[in-house]
Structures are given as C-alpha cells and as structure tokens.
Amino acid sequence: MLPYMPFVNEYWPFIVTGIICYLGARFLYHSAVSWNPEKYKNRKNYRTPDEVAEIDADEFEDDVGQLDMSSALPWDLEHVSLDFNRLPVDETIRRSQEFYTFMNQRRTVRFFSRDPVPADVIRNIIRAAGTAPSGAHTEPWTYVVVSDPEVKRQVRDIVEKEEEINYTKRMGPQWTTDLKPLRTNWIKEYLTDAPYLILVFKQLYSFKEDGTKRIHYYSEMSISLACGILLAAVHYAGLVSLTSTPLNCGPALRSLLGRPTSEKLILLLPVGYPSPDATVPDLKRKPLEEILVEI
C-alpha cells in the first residue's frame, strides 16, 4: 500500500502530464537526431566551456576537426614574440602611484563648454578603447561619435522625453531620492553643449567571412572593460566626460543613428571641456582597506 502523500494525491494529474511531456520531448528530439544526424551534428558534439577546459589540446583539435566548423580567427593564426619592456621595480612603483593619482582626479562632469575639440583626439580615444581585451578576441563594440548639432539635438530630445518619464514614473522614490545629492534631473543641456557624444554599442553577434554567425563570448564584460579604457583615455587627453546609461532610450537612439538590431546601446558619453563654472559633488572614494582583500 502507498504511503499517504497529500501533495501527490492532489496534484497527480499534473505530475503525470509533466512526466509524459518530458518523455515525449526527449523522444521527439532523439527521433529528429536519428532522422537528420547532419543537422544535429554540432549540437551533439557541443561541450560547455567547463567541459572544454577539462580536455587536453590534442583531444580538442580532434574534437573541433570533427565538427566541421570554421573558427572565428584563422585556424593557423601565427604566434609572435611578445613586445614587452620590463621596467626596473622602482619605476614600476612610481608609475603605479602616478597612475592612481591621475585616475583619482577623474570626475563625472555635468556642465560642458561648447569649445571645440579636434576630431583626431576623439579618434585616438576610440583607438585606445579598441585595445580592450575581449572574449576570444571578438571585439564586440561599435562607437558612434556624434558632433552634428542637429543630431545632438535629436539625441537630447529622445533622452529628455524618456528621462522625464524615468524620473517621474519608472525609477521610483528610492532611486530618485538616492540621486538627489547629485542634483541630476531630466534636463540634459550637456547633450547639446558637449562637442561630442560617444555612443557605445555592444554587438550581440557578428558574422564570419564565410557568412556564419560569430558568437560574442562574454560581450558584456568585454564592452565594460572597453568603456573603462574609454573613460581613462578621455581623462588622459585632458577632457571630461559624463558616464550615462539613459534608461529606455536604447532602441530609439539605435534607430536614430542607423545601427542594426544586433547592437545594443550600452553607454552615452558626452565628451569635451568642462564649462568654466562647472561644479561636481564633493564625493569621497572608498579607502583601500574597504575595497581590497589580500590573502
């Protein structure tokens, strides 16, 4: 005799239906594989990144050879000597201190001068961002630089309309309260004052030379690293920027700028000189003891 199980007794029709659906789906999948093994070849051989890490290089080569796949980078990619200049230890210490002091002066600026900046400076800044590491060297980024006053005005219109809704409806009282000390609101003069707007798009995927889809591994992490280098490059060039990720504006800005649906807006960065009377909130950064764990 079966023990009394109230849950099973009450819900047995759902449990039985669930099991039948699961077995049916498995049966259909395996039938499909046996009818058309070519189509499912890659999926059968698919290994998770963890599994791939477990197998040794020779096995990996055999494995990929069987898959009949083209790699995103050339299969016979040459490996060359590293161009590396090893510095004396004192110089390494000096540089690390100097870089920290320099980066500690970077501030988010919300008041921009309309003074022009040479376009070559912005191009070099984008070149620097393009040196970021990326998952499997997929470089999943597109930087759109807007200097045309009319397009800047259209960007500002889109952002201000959405930001007004964000501040009054979407963000909620806690978020808007947290922002109060920063004195931000939905009026974004800097979007038309700054000589350049850099819009960073993440490419969700791209295409290989043979037309097959190129998977962008870890694209979120890759683009975030590139954005960090971008901010540092702006600062190093003697300019200022405002990191912004305007909520709900991505699709409208993407279509305004003619970018494909395979790209997602990650960052909107006004870049230029600060206005002469620019102010910044007097923020303190966490001390080393609070952000470092040494083991």
Q: Which residues bind to ligand FMN, rule: CB under 6 A? A: 107-108, 110, 182, 184, 242-245, 280, 283
- Of 72 and 266, CB closest to ligand FMN: 266
CA 279 to chain CA mean position, Å:
29
The bridge status of strand 196-203 relative to strand 141-146 is: antiparallel
Q: Which two tokens stand for residue 10?
A: 């009450």
- State in angstroms the smallest separation of the CB of 292 from ligand FMN: 18
Q: Give strand pairing partners of 244.
A: 268
Q: Report in angstroms how near the CB of residue 4 gets to ligand FMN at its nearest.
A: 55
Give the nearer residue to ligand FMN in terms of CB position, either 77 or 283: 283
Residue 256 C-beta: closest distance to ligand FMN, Å:
18
Give the shortest CB-123-to-ligand FMN separation in angstroms.
24
Nearer to ligand FMN, 66 or 243 (CB): 243
User: Between 70 and 184, whose beta carbon lies closer to ligand FMN?
Assistant: 184
Q: Which residue is nearest to ligand FMN (CB)?
A: 108
Tokens of 33: 């594989």
Q: CB of 26: closest distance to ligand FMN in angstroms?
A: 43
Helices 119-129 and 219-236, packing angle to 10 deg: 140
Those residues whose C-beta lies under 8 Å from the C-beta of residue 248, and which sit 6 or more positions away, are 162, 165, 166, 170
H helix or E strand, kind and range, residue 127: helix 119-129
Distances (CA, A) of 165 to 157, 158, 176, 192, 270: 13, 11, 12, 20, 21
Question: From CA 236, how far away is CA 91, in angstroms rounded?
Answer: 20
What's the closest the beta carbon of residue 192 comes to ligand FMN, in angstroms?
A: 15
Give the nearer residue to ligand FMN in terms of CB position, either 146 or 200.
200
CA-wise closest residue to 40 among 72, 68, 79, 8:
68
Q: Which of 15/182 has CB closer to ligand FMN? A: 182
Q: Decide: 40 and 68 in contact? Cβ < 8 Å.
A: no
- Is there a contact between 111 and 279 (Cβ–Cβ < 8 Å)? yes
Q: Choose between 138 and 244: whose C-beta lies nearer to ligand FMN.
A: 244
Residue 246 amino acid letter: P
Could you tell me the smallest distance in angstroms from the CB atom of residue 264 to ligand FMN? Answer: 14
